[in-house]
Amino acid sequence: MNDRHTTERGRIRIVGFDDANANRSDNDASDDDDTDGATPADSGAGPATTAETETMSASTLRQPGRRLENAWRRFRRNQSGMAGLAVLVVMAVLAVFARPITVSTTEVTITLQPFSLAPYDPAAMFVGPANAPPSPAHPFGTDWAGRDQFSRVLVGGRYTLSIGLVAVGLALCVGVPLGAIAGYFGGWIDEAIMRVVDVLYAFPFLVLAIAIVPILEPVPILGSGYWTVVVALAVTGWVGYARLLRGEVLSVREREYVTAARALGVPDRTIIRRHVVPNAVAPVVVQATLNVGTVVLTAAALGFLGLGLEPGSAEWGAMLAQGRSSLLRGDWHITVFPGLAIFLFVLAINLVGDGINDAIEPDRDATDDRRRIR
């Protein structure tokens, strides 16, 4: 995990261009076009410097393609990260193929996905005895209305995955641009946006959610349930990303390539979009990945308070919350399976997030963190 072990000896290391070295050594490892055995690393100072300058200039222009490749390669070496990713992929596949996906208007019905892994329709009631423990016919048992838990857990993945991704996605769409603008332009724009961020930070999420949900209810498009929860989560989530990104942007904007771009007359908009944000976005990506997990847990807590999705939804958190009285009765199967599902999902997401963290920024300077956060 520590890229300081290079084969180059006696070289002066210049901190801040680590990515250049990483790119170089990785390129060397994978590039078949290189001359056999004559890697620049082993030769003397001359060709090394030239090669280094070349790759340096290439990487100072920041080829995201290359960088992503390298990050992916590093990620692949991380066992727990890969395990987490595998779990997520399996969950996603199960969610997609759980029940058929169809699009229909009044005349036409298009089936996007015809497979059905779930044996029963998750909303079909009384397909089995109520509150039955796990059995061959119903591997996860049935709930109070005789609905098959196995089918519901499978289909529930859709809600969980989509809520997590959509809520975080929306929050990013708001937080990243605002954070970038604040960090890049500085001055009163920065102050204004950061004060708004501070104000919102003073409200704990559930306080805002409890208030937002009844406010959003009368709005026609939203109604209760899915979109209300997602919007509530997004509205409160963007704040963290804005602040984080702003901090990163503050240091990135001092980099030479930005100055160069400015000098060339590239418009600010393009600079932000193409140069600043891609280089600053790394910790935000890590945070966002981790937040998918917290978002799912928060949606579950909202379900517990009764503010969540439409009653009867097969969402894991809702199933967990609605089944809580059965815990005391001894019907363990009603809460254990959705609970395990959430647990696995959040665990996997966190492993992936950690993996991404290690893959993208192996050597972050801790002292800069504090300044960036304020």
Partner 1 sequence: MAGNSVGSGEHNRLRRRSFLTRAGALGVAGLAGCLSFDSATADGPATELIEEGFATADIEPPFETTIAITQGEERNRFAQLLQSELNGTGFFDVEIESRDFGSHIESMLSAADTEENAIFVASWTGGWDPSNYVTMLFHSEYQTPNGLNVGHYENETVDEYIDAGLTETDSDDRVEIYRNLQQELVSDSPASFVRFREATHVWDGDVVSDWQTYPLQPGSYYAVYAPWAGVYTDLENETEFVGDLGSDVSNYDPVKINGTVSSQATALVYEQLVGIDFDGEVQPMLATDWEQLDATTYRFSLREGVQFHNGEKLTATHVKRSFQRYEGTTRESDVYDWYESSTIIDDHTIEINCKREYGPFETALFNVAIVPLAAIDGELDLQEEPIGTGPYRFVEHESGNHWRLRRFDDHWFTGDEAVPATPPIETVTLEIITEQSSRQAALERGDLHFSYNLPSASLSDFEENDDYGVGRRVSGGFDMILYPCYLPPFSEPSVRRGCNMLVPRERTLENVYHGIGQLAYSPVSPLLEDYAGESFQQEIANEYVRST
Partner 2 sequence: MSLGRYVGRRLAITVPVLVGVSVLTFSFVHLLPGDAVDALVGFRDVSPATEAAIRAEYHLGQPVWNQYLLWLRDAVTLEFGESPVTGRDVTATIGSRLPATLALGGAAWLLALAIGIPAGIVTAVKAGEPADELGRIAALAGIATPNFWLGLILLFVFSVRLGWVRVIPPDAPLASIATAKFLVLPTITLGTAAAALVMRLLRSSIRRELDAPYVTTARAKGLPERTVVLKHVLRNALLPVVTIAGLQLAFLVDGAVVVEGIFSWPGMGRLLVRSILRRDYPLIQAIVLLIGVAIVLANLLVDVIYAILDPRIRY
Closest contact distance (angstroms) between CB of 240 and partner 1 is 22
Site for partner 2 in 208-237 (CB under 8 A): 208, 210-212, 214-215, 217-218
Q: Is 138 in the site for partner 1 (CB under 8 A)?
A: no
- The interface region with partner 2, picked from 34-42, 143-151, 158-166, 192-200 by CB under 8 A, is 192-200
Q: Is 42 in the site for partner 2 (CB under 8 A)?
A: no
Instruction: Select the binding partner of residue 317 from partner 1, partner 2, none (C-beta < 5 to 8 A, by kind).
Output: partner 2
Site for partner 1 in 163-182 (CB under 8 A): 165-166
Give the one residue of 309, 335, 352, 359 binding partner 2; rule: CB under 8 A.
Answer: 335
Q: How far apart are CA 319 and CA 143, in angstroms?
A: 9
Q: How far apart are CA 184 and CA 245, in angstroms?
A: 10
Give the one residue of 184, 205, 241, 337 binding partner 2; rule: CB under 8 A.
Answer: 205
Q: Is 184 in the site for partner 2 (CB under 8 A)?
A: no
Q: Is 54 in the site for partner 1 (CB under 8 A)?
A: no
Q: Is 274 in the site for partner 1 (CB under 8 A)?
A: yes
Instruction: Select the binding partner of residue 373 from partner 2, partner 1, none (C-beta < 5 to 8 A, by kind).
Output: partner 2
Q: How far apart are CA 114 and CA 359, in angstroms?
A: 37
Q: Is 201 in the site for partner 2 (CB under 8 A)?
A: yes
Question: Given the complex with partner 1, which of 223 and 267 has the nearer CB atom?
Answer: 223
Q: How many residues bind partner 1 (CB under 8 A)?
A: 54
**Which chain residues interact with partner 1 by CB under 8 A?**
61-66, 68-69, 72, 89, 92, 95-96, 101-104, 109, 112-113, 123, 125, 130, 144-146, 158-159, 161-162, 165-166, 213-214, 217, 223-226, 274-275, 278, 306-307, 310-312, 322, 324-329
